[in-house]
Structure 1
Amino acid sequence: EMKQFDQERSLEKLDVYAYPLNQSSNQISLYIKNRSPFTVEIVRVWINDQYIPYSIRILGTNECTTEPIDVQDILPHDDVESFYIKVTTARGNMFSSQTNPLQYSSDYGWSGGHSFAINIVVEMDTGVYNFIISVTSSNGTTIYDEDVWVLHSVSLMRKISVSGPDTYHIRVVQTMGIDRTCERDVQITLEEPTKWVYMDYPEDFQ
């Protein structure tokens, strides 16, 4: 039994993406992909050196989005602060968020991230949605295309890695009922390699 525990512990793999619900939100959620073939249980969410007891089970090769976590008490009032998010599993492994560090400024809200990436966050009321997310580079090459079902969650997050500085076109279509679309152009630069793009459904969708 111990041998099986050790083996499963060594095979446990999660991709964790922490994200604020919008630019000025006092809540964050975690989008977690379980890349292991077995169920993984999250027991703690860490924000810097503080942890929140948490209990969520993710079936093998499944994914989930946590309920929003209130971080109002730790946000700076007149400064900029970096937040490093990670989770601990019941088997004792720790996995850091791939969007670390999240930065919060009392003047500008959330930003952060060191890699060339576009972080898309769609906020919505609880329900059933079907979103088609596509990202193209300035020369028209499609670099990301995904069809996503959202079931009873209040947000959707995707981190899309890009090759480098360029202007990228983001198109998100919600197809349940009448198609509604939100489009944005995002400029990635060496100075600001990661851009956060927030969309509110249905307000930002035409």
Structure 2
Amino acid sequence: MSDDEQRGRGAASVHRVGGLLGDLQSADDQPVAPRRRADAERNRAQILSAAEQLFAEQDPRSVTMGEIAKAAGVGRATLYRSFPDPSSVAVALLDEHERRLQGQLIYGPPPLGPGAPAGERLAAFYLAMLDLLERHLPLALGAETGPARFRTGAYGFWRVHVRTLLVDHGVEDPDPLIDIALSPLSPELFQFQRHQLGLSAERIGGSLAVFARRLLESGGGR
């Protein structure tokens, strides 16, 4: 086991012990603590449910913290204890869907998961992302538009994935291509193509699949 792993395990042990002692202390001195935790979880669930409804009903970028608090039936102080702004609420809602896709990229069957040529994997990734945008566009618009898109953990994961595909294909200088390859997946672009131009998701996906294969065909390879 590496030093980092040992330190991580030690920290986890301290955390568990601290948690147990805290629970015992709460049981003796603060019997309402478990109820407070339950209240916090219930408030969080109410906030996320209300926010998702608001994001679906109006432009997610116009939703305010006051609207979320009112719809959730909680005070602003309660809301701000969990989330600093509407974008962070949208990120929390979108996170579970994106983590599911991330797992498929790492462990799933090809072509989305390992085992297929890089061009086919990139095409499959595009199609999976388009499906996510089709189903959860209001959340993506609330969480991943403008400069905020590049700061999310999910975008960092997508960058690593696309870079790996470019390197596997033998692209000598992959870094300038990563964000170019991800740019067609912008939520704003998808909204424009789907809802202003009226293009179907299938038509957009078919074109992106062709783009993915040609990008890696011409990008250089071993």
TM-score (normalised: structure 1):
0.26
Larger radius of gyration: 2
Bigger strand share: 1
